[in-house]
Amino acid sequence: MIAVQQLTKRYGRHTAVEDVSFHCEPGTVTGFLGPNGAGKSTTMRMICGLTPPTSGAATVDGRPYRQLPNPGRTVGVLLDASAQHAGRTGRETLTVAAATMGVNRRRVDEVLDLVGLGPAAARRRVRAYSLGMRQRLGLAHALLGDPRVLVLDEPANGLDPEGIFWMRGLLRDFADRGGTVLLSSHLLREVEAVADRLVVIGGGRIVAQGDKDDLLAGAGTVVRARDGAALRAALHRAGLTVSDNSEGLLVSADTDAVGEVALAAGVALTELRPAGGGGLEQLFLALTAAAPATAIAEPAGEVVR
């Protein structure tokens, strides 16, 4: 279980993360989504005690990371796959970590096997690893202490499609056995396939969170009119968030609300339908386009309007 409560991080006058709150429950994979620079890494670093928050708090299994007696046994962390010592072999990296954590050395072979690093790869120095191999080693390191929680920042970076497919299976299996996974990505497809819940961040603020299926169902409305300018103006006057979509305007409201606004403004519509069919991509684009100016925190399960 991960609990993030009103985390804020400021660097001088720049706010990297503002008032971010969410929970990750056992048995679930939470996808932490947002474009580059949105604040994902900063939030994850605060969860893992590497960056002190300006305000707010985060706990893993009820305690701040820094107060966990042997953190690697509670939470496996992969924040930067390139952070491993380049002069050590993969096996040495894990053996040193196992000794630090008090984990049996046999576990090193188990996790090497689990992440698909064979004996030859394990004997090579990390400096000779591709980014994909470093991610696998980082994941092996995260799994080494047999934790119940995983925090992984962009773990699919550098993996080929087969590797991404493999990782999804591994994370799904981890969660299905009662584990808690928080997984960040700037790529929607990577997360859409594996996550149960989504937390979407833009400009340092949460713009939507909830069950993936609920969020997709609440992806807004696609609407078109011959007089697009009049429609857009009416929607703006009604205080709705509007963004351009290849098929028309994407509005963060249901079809009833959008239809009523158009009727009241005397705009004849040529199309009005739920946007859900377009998948997460539309939701993601709409939300991140709207952030941060219009983002206001709302309870879980709501798309913030």
159/258 with CB nearer ligand ADP: 159
Q: Is 163 in the site for ligand ADP (CB under 6 A)?
A: no
Residue 195 touches ligand ADP, criterion: CB under 6 A: no
Q: Which is nearer to ligand ADP, 16 or 133 (CB)?
A: 16
> How far apart, in whole angstroms, are the C-alpha atoms of residue 291 and residue 172?
30
* Closest CB to ligand ADP among residues 11, 165: 11
Q: Which residue has the tokens 């990390």?
A: 126
* Residue 179 near ligand ADP by CB under 6 A: no
Residue 241 contacts residue 254 (beta carbons within 8 Å): no
Chain positions 12 to 41 lying near ligand ADP, rule: CB under 6 A, are 14, 16, 34, 36-41
Sign (positive or negative) of CA dihedral 37, 40, 46, 51: negative
Binding mask 36-65 for ligand ADP (x = CB under 6 A): xxxxxxx-----------------------
CB closer to ligand ADP out of 37 and 102: 37
The first and second tokens of residue 224, run together, are: 């078109």
Tell the smallest beta-carbon distance from residue 281 to ligand ADP (Å): 18
Q: Binding segment for ligand ADP among 11-19, 116-124, 190-198, 297-305 (CB under 6 A)? A: 11-19
Residues in the chain: 305
* Contacts (CB under 6 A) with ligand ADP, residues 203-232: none
Query: Which of 216, 270, 273, 223 minimizes the C-alpha distance to 250?
Result: 223
Shortest Å distance, C-beta 172 to ligand ADP: 23
Q: Least distance to ligand ADP from the beta carbon of 11, Å?
A: 4
User: Which structure tokens are listed for 144?
Assistant: 């080494």
Name the residues that contact ligand ADP, by CB under 6 A. Answer: 11, 14, 16, 34, 36-42
